Amino acid sequence: KNEVEQSPQNLTAQEGEFITINCSYSVGISALHWLQQHPGGGIVSLFMLSSGKKKHGRLIATINIQEKHSSLHITASHPRDSAVYICAVRPFWYSGGGADGLTFGKGTHLIIQP
Amino acid sequence: GAGVSQSPSNKVTEKGKDVELRCDPISGHTALYWYRQRLGQGLEFLIYFQGNSAPDKSGLPSDRFSAERTGESVSTLTIQRTQQEDSAVYLCASSLKGNQPQHFGDGTRLSIL
């Protein structure tokens, strides 16, 4: 069974701080997604990656396939970054190719205080 | 519209009734996903459509749940004989093709009385 674990579950930080959210998973994957869920419920896809590192603005996502671990970093955090950040993986089942539904972590609830 | 559209945005119904939720994916997106998010819980995969291939139904929690998709357009998720544990936000997402970034709708908040 694929497990996706995120840490921390909750994080409160001051504006300007460097933020790191971690994600570990237990099976081989073909892709890992980082999603952002705003307080109103809308979900936005931030990154999809299968190796290395991606950067978009103040957000950086890294993945280590061998260690089955990914991190999401936010530089110069701002109150508008306050949201739930969700890690999700697309398992790769060797017997049958790709299973296309994502398996989600429980999310990290981030609050950035001004 | 430019994004994934879901309707209704809210649905309140009595236990035992059937409900139908609708998703309009982004035009040209061949992949469509349904997810469920119960209050305070993470997202759960329900079903995946890719083009004309047989859908991946591995996430459907019971035979009361079914979904259809017409070609590469609208999808409906049907829940028969609703139970209180079906109360959740049902989210639809689409992507250009499988294993691509997914674009999410705003969801349908379903409340079973």
Omega of the bond prior to B8 within 30 degrees of 0, cis?
yes
What is the band of A99 on the pLDDT scale with cuts at 50, 70, 90? Answer: very low
With H, G, I as helix, E, B as strand and everything else as coil, classify residue B73.
coil
For residue B14, give how far its alpha carbon lies from the nearest alpha carbon of chain A (Å): 24
What is the band of A98 on the pLDDT scale with cuts at 50, 70, 90? Answer: very low
pLDDT in tens, A24-46: 999 888 899 999 998 877 899 99
A27 touches B at CB < 8 Å = no
pLDDT in tens, A46-82: 999 999 999 999 999 999 999 999 999 999 999 999 9
User: Does pLDDT of A94 surpass 60?
Assistant: no
For residue A70, give how far its alpha carbon lies from the nearest alpha carbon of chain B (Å): 17
Q: Which residues in chain A have their CB less than 8 angstroms from residue B59's CB?
A: 101
**pLDDT mean values, one per 10 residues, chain B (113 residues):** 90 97 95 92 90 86 94 94 96 89 94 96
Angle at Cα B97 formed by Cα B93 and Cα B102, nearest 5°? Answer: 30
User: What pLDDT shows up at residue A97?
Assistant: 39
Q: Which residues in chain A have their CB less than 8 angstroms from residue B93's CB?
A: 43
Q: Which of A4, A22, A1 is nearest to B42 (CA)?
A: A4
Q: Which of B43, B65, B47, B64 is nearest to B56 (CA)?
A: B47
How many interface pairs between A and B have CB atoms less than 8 angstroms apart?
Answer: 57
User: What pLDDT shows up at residue A1?
Assistant: 63
With H, G, I as helix, E, B as strand and everything else as coil, classify residue A79.
helix
Neighbouring CB atoms inside 10 A of A114's CB total 7
CB contact under 8 A, B104 and A86: no
User: What pLDDT shows up at residue A101?
Assistant: 73
Where does A1-114 show beta strands of DSSP type E?
A: 4-7, 10-14, 19-25, 29-37, 43-49, 52-56, 59-64, 69-74, 83-93, 97-98, 103-104, 108-113
User: What pLDDT shows up at residue A22?
Assistant: 98
User: What pLDDT shows up at residue A2?
Assistant: 65
Q: What is the CA radius of gyration of chain B?
A: 13
CB contact under 8 A, B100 and A99: no
Alpha-carbon distance A2 to B73, whole Å? 31
Alpha-carbon distance A61 to A53, whole Å? 6
User: What pLDDT shows up at residue A100?
Assistant: 61
User: What pLDDT shows up at residue A78?
Assistant: 97
Q: Which residue has the tokens 């009385």?
A: B113
